[in-house]
Amino acid sequence: MKIGYVRVSTQEQNTIRQEVMMKDLGVDELYIDKASGKNMNRSELKKMMDYVRQGDTVIVESISRFARNTRDLLELVEQLAEKNVEFVSRKEAIDTTTPSGKFMLTIFGAVAELEREYILQRQQEGIAIAKQQGKYRGRKPIECPDLSRVIERWKAGEMTAREAMRRLNMKPTTFYRKVKAAK
């Protein structure tokens, strides 16, 4: 069975190009993640890794869609190999059924990781320059006029933390950071 895995980094990005390629390749089952590839904590990736079985072939558009660092890539491919599942990356023309394919997988994995590190480095350099020029001040703080009133009601037990977060339209980390800052 051909199993396709598609990934884009954010919810706003479009997967159609990868989906069309998978359809053209005759993929039987498709798993799509809209999440960063910085680690293996992706719901559809986990489902796919649980689903695959002996004789299946996992197909990805490119290594960078599957894993962003060599360690994760090799770990994922090893998990597939333990199940006797083949791995194919179309862009890099890698097929793990051959010794040269396994070797190339390691090389391209290292290149993908290097590329990711360069992106992060350029981003940090750009932010540093923008800060020097006074153009970058970081993320704008969340303004909430009734924050102190909601926190007081929460502390008094008049509402749950979940209710307070909903009223303030905040995630838990933001809510508790604001509570700590309000002390």
Q: Which of 9, 43, 64, 100 is catalytic?
A: 9
Under 8 Å CB-to-CB from 176, ≥6 apart: which residues?
none
Contacts 24+ apart (CB under 8 A), 109-116: 109/63, 109/67, 109/69, 109/70, 109/73, 109/74, 110/70, 112/63, 112/64, 112/67, 112/68, 112/69, 112/70, 112/73, 113/68, 113/69, 113/70, 115/64, 116/38, 116/64, 116/68, 116/69
DSSP code string of 63-94 = HHHH-SSHHHHHHHHHHHHHTT-EEEETTTTE
Instruction: Find residue 86's DSSP bridge partners.
Output: 57
Mark whether 9 is an active-site residue.
Answer: yes
Q: Which residues are catalytic?
A: 9
